[in-house]
Structure 1
C-alpha cells in the first residue's frame, strides 16, 4: 500500500501529457492518472494536436507517447519534450519496434498496457528529475 501512496504523491498535481490514438486506451490512461491526482493534457490522437499542446505555453510534468500515431512516428514530440527536460515513456502495439539510438534510454511499454505499472514507471521518472 505504501508504494501506491508514494506514486500518488509523485503524480498528485502533476500535468501528464497523453498522446495516444486508441480512444479507449487513451481514456483508461487518463482515468488512471486522474485517480492518482494528476491533471491530463490531452489525450490527443493526432500529432498536430500534440504540437498545439506543446506550444500552448502550459507546464507539462511528464508524458506518455504512443510511438505510432496514425501511421506517423511520435519522435518530433519526444525530441521537443527531451529538449525541455520533460520525462516521458513510450507505448507500442508492435512487438519489435526499433527505437532510434537517441531514444534507447526511454522506457518502452508494450500493449496491452499494465496501467498500474505505467503509473509507477512515470512516477519514478518524475522523481528522478532534478528540482
Structure 2
C-alpha cells in the first residue's frame, strides 16, 4: 500500500488530476467497466493473482498502459509483446519516461 501511495504522490506531482487504484483483479476489472482511463500502470501481481485479465481488458478498450514489476525474470504474456515495462524500484524520471513513451506525459 505504501508503494501505491508513493506512486499516487508522484503522479500528483506531475500534474495528474485523478488517480484510481485497485488491489485485486476483480476490483480493477470493475473500475475499467465503470469509468474511462487515459492511462494505466499495472502491477503484474494483484493480491497474489496474475493481472493478465486486467491487461487484456485495458488493451481491448484501447487504454495505453505499462506493466510495473520488481520481478526481473517475469515475462509479459499479453497480446502485445511490445508492452512497456516499468521496473521497480523506479524514480520519478523513470515514471516520466514511461508516460512519455505512452505519449501521455503530463505537461507541468
> Contact 1:50/1:77 (CA < 8 Å) preserved in 2?
yes
Equivalent residues, number:
104
SS class of match (1:109): strand
5 Å-filtered alignment, 1:42-57, equals: 42-56=20-34
CA distance in 2, matches of 1:70, 1:98: 18
SS class of match (2:20): strand
Are residues 1:59 and 2:36 paired?
Answer: yes
- 1:40-91: CA deviation from partner (whole Å, max 9, x where unpaired): 34222111211121111x2200000000112211111111111111110001
> Contact 2:45/2:51 (CA < 8 Å) preserved in 1?
yes
Report which of the two has the higher share of strand: 1
- TM-score under structure 2 length normalisation: 0.84
SS class of match (1:44): coil
Report which of the two has the higher share of helix: 1
Gaps of 5+ in 2: none
Gaps of 5+ in 1: 1-22
Are residues 1:113 and 2:90 paired?
Answer: yes
Q: Which residue of 2 aligns with 1:76?
A: 53
- 1:81-103: CA deviation from partner (whole Å, max 9, x where unpaired): 11111110001121200222623
